[in-house]
Amino acid sequence: MGPYVVDFFGADAKLVVEVDGGQYAESASDAARTRWLEARGYRVVRFWNNDVLANTEGVLLAILGGLRA
């Protein structure tokens, strides 16, 4: 999207889903990407890799909530 790559994108809902490992804990470039996306009307939700693996149902429910918002 623009100059960035996102993990998952729901075009109709303008929802971006990012799945991050520990290397992105406080990344300035990650924050810049989020600001860029949000400035264009996209909502960004983030999950840690271990949450996706250990709490898949919870992550899916959160994404569903984001799609309904």
User: What three-state secondary structure class fits 24?
Assistant: helix
What's the pLDDT score for residue 30? 83
* Long-range contacts from 52-60, C-beta under 8 angstroms, 24+ separation: 52/19
Alpha carbon distance 38, 5 (integer Å): 14
What's the pLDDT score for residue 68? 80
Residues of the chain with pLDDT under 50: none
Residue 66, C-beta contacts closer than 8 angstroms, at least 6 positions apart: 13, 15, 17, 43, 45
Domain boundaries, the chain: 8-68
* pTM recorded for the entire structure: 0.83
